[in-house]
Structure 1
Amino acid sequence: MNKPLTGALLSLLLLGAAATPAVAAPTAPSTTTAPTATSTAPEATALAVDFAGTVALSNCSGSVVRAPGSQPNDLALVLSNGHCLESGFPAAGEVVKDRPSSRSFSLLNSAGSKVGTLRASKIAYATMTDTDISIYQLTRTYAQIQSQYGITALTLDGARPAQGSAIKVVSGYWKRIYSCNVDGFAYRLKEGDWTWKDSVRYTSACNTIGGTSGSPVVDTATGKVVAVNNTGNEDGARCTVNNPCEVDQNGNVTVRQGINYAQQTYIVVPCIAPGNKIDLNRPGCVLPKP
């Protein structure tokens, strides 16, 4: 995983150490080590992408997000990673739903400057099973955030991203934007005890590091969030913590050292009911249930 940062780890990263998540090594029929392909998808119609609406957590990145159907007076949501929870990594198979939280988030403007502090009322949803996401419900509505800070939430795209599309990974923690393309998709991505489905694989230009976990991945053609940044293979090891591996439908394992990944977010959209409630029983919602 692009691991959360603590004091000792932060010192290492400032000296040049890289990213991180966690999981138990699976058994697979074959293993290969492969370079990532280089996409040449054009960015001719790219929209400007900045830091407005992103947030910095104590150890990760995140963003204020809305579903296509969210309303101005709905309590706002913050998207990050499941492995960024203040309580630590959820176990494989664990789902957190509607757990009280008073976590704070530093809200950034377009230039990356802090304009205010937002606070959660609860963890609306979080898991590291099938995907790696956390969704916090805030104490303020989108309209209140817009009125006080002039910041509009990022919109979650309800469609799956396309291979080759130009993207930007926007880290509120580091106030850094990475630009690359969707190189492809991993049928299964295994890291330690965790397995994630249909993960986005970046081209090599998005060399994300610790603290970028939870960053929104924005499609530059639409300006919408298509994924949430979460991990990368640091050392070339196979399916271990900080060294995820790809497993295809036939069980073949591919290791791509130095390549980073994100979890798609279009699957979240069907689970957001009117009033910004996370309803896992809605038609089309495939997020794991408690």
Structure 2
Amino acid sequence: MFDAMRFGWVKAAGLALGLSLGLSACQSVQTTGAGVVGVERQQRMSALVSEAELRQGAVQAYREQITKERQNGTLNADPGMTSRVKAIAARLIPATGAFRPDAPAWAWEVNVIRSDSINAWCMPGGKIAVYSGLIDKLALNDDEIAAVMGHEIAHALREHARERASEQVTAGLLIQGGAMVLGAPGGSVDMAKLAYQVTLGLPNSRLHESEADRIGVELAARSGYDPRAAVTLWQKMARAGGSGGPQWLSTHPAADTRIRDLEVYAARVAPLYQQAKSRR
């Protein structure tokens, strides 16, 4: 009985230590305005993860990637496609001010990489890459390209990379705090990490994707691109197998779930689209 009680106390102390370390390193923030789509979730960010440091790291990583693509002859290899993508970005970037007043002044960079990959991304601070395979294989029109880019830009606006890094740091502190006191074997710690990833990490990532979808359609609408194109985009992605796998083990929402949500929010921002069209 005494040993069991002692073990229970030590276990509780270890978990309390990890919890204390994790929570003390976090703060609640709202990175963006809610917009018409109403993204109002408070985010938990670790004080140990600096957005400025992430941006600095993004600049370095982007430079390395761009240098590699230039050396391989795959950077902006199609002048027509590059001009098209940059023109779309030039309309989307000013609209970011609706969510973050500082964002239009970021050091934005936009490049097209010749690759068969169906992919695009935006690093912290506005470093964008669009892969030619995304446009060619899915036969995207300008409205659909705007939907993709708006989605990726939204991740940067919401600082999702920082939030994910904060989750990992906090989880590491919790796990290490418990393991330090309990002397847990490596296998137990690995299992704890797996449990964290499945129960917390992946659902949060799906939440990030949904937020980026919603902000993305508003960015497109404010820029004069049809927000309903996000629906046709993901219909094409679904046909291309871009969101396969069961929803509960995916970092992206299931295609039908995503499309239903986009239909709702595209309708919500339709007046913004009409206003933007009338000004062009």
Q: Same fold (TM over 0.5)?
A: no
Whichever of the two has the greater Rg, that structure is 2
Larger RCO: Structure 1 or Structure 2 (Cα < 8 Å, ≥ 6 residues apart)?
1
Structure with higher helix content = 2
Superposition TM-score, scaled by structure 1 size: 0.24
Superposition TM-score, scaled by structure 2 size: 0.25
